[in-house]
C-alpha cells in the first residue's frame, strides 16, 4: 500500500514527521480526505482534529488553524499550534474551556468575544482529541 510523507510544523518547530496511508482534516471549505496521488492543493484549516491513518493504527492530532499543503506524495501542515494527545494537559484544557464559557456568558462590554470564542474552540478541540 502506498503512503504519504506527513510533516506537521509549528512556529516552535516540527511536531510530527512520519508516513501514513490517509490524512483526514477539516479545511474551511469542509472535510478533506487525502490519499497518495492526491492532486496538489493548498487549503486553510479550521481548529479541529487531524486523523492520520497508518497501516495498523490511526493517530489524531489537535491542530489550531493554519494551512494544509498537499502534493501527490507529501502532506505538510503549517499550524499555529499542533499537539499529539499524549502532550495535552487535559485538566488545563478543561479549565481553559470553563474560563472561555464563563467569559462568553458574562456579556460584559470589555470582553473580547471573538477571542473567547476561539479559546473555547481550541479547548474543546484539545479535549476531543484526547478522547479519541
- pLDDT digits 0-9 by tens, 61-88: 999 989 999 999 999 999 989 988 888 8
111 compared with 70, residue with greater pLDDT: 70
In terms of DSSP H, where are the helices of the chain? Answer: 90-106, 113-130
Highest mean pLDDT among 30-34, 54-58, 120-124: 30-34
Kindly list the distances between the CA atom of residue 18 and the CA atoms of 8, 22, 76, 104, in Å, as whole numbers in the listed order: 9, 12, 11, 39
Q: What is the mean pLDDT of residues 110-120?
A: 77
Selection from 127, 41, 46, 121 nearest residue 79 by Cα: 46
Q: What is the mean pLDDT of residues 33-55?
A: 94
Neighbours of 95 (CB within 10 A): 12
Q: What is the mean pLDDT of residues 111-123?
A: 80
pLDDT bin (cut points 50, 70, 90) of residue 118 is confident
Cα 22 from Cα 59, distance rounded (Å): 11
Domains and CATH numbers, the chain: 4-83 (2.60.15.10), 89-130 (1.20.5.440)
pTM of the model as a whole: 0.81
What is the model's pLDDT at position 112? 76
Amino acid at each position: 500500500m502506498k503512503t504519504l510523507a506527513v510533516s506537521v510544523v509549528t512556529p516552535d518547530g516540527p511536531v510530527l514527521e512520519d508516513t501514513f496511508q490517509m490524512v483526514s482534516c477539516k479545511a474551511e471549505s469542509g472535510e478533506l480526505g487525502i490519499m497518495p496521488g492526491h492532486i496538489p492543493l493548498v487549503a486553510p484549516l479550521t481548529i479541529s482534529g487531524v486523523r492520520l491513518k497508518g497501516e495498523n493504527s490511526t493517530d489524531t492530532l489537535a491542530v489550531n488553524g493554519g494551512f494544509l499543503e498537499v502534493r501527490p506524495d507529501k502532506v505538510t501542515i503549517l499550524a499555529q499550534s499542533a499537539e499529539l494527545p499524549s502532550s495535552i494537559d487535559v485538566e488545563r484544557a478543561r479549565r481553559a474551556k470553563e474560563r472561555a464559557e464563563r467569559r462568553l456568558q458574562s456579556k460584559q462590554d470589555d470582553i473580547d468575544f471573538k477571542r473567547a470564542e476561539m479559546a473555547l474552540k481550541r479547548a474543546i478541540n484539545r479535549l476531543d482529541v484526547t478522547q479519541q
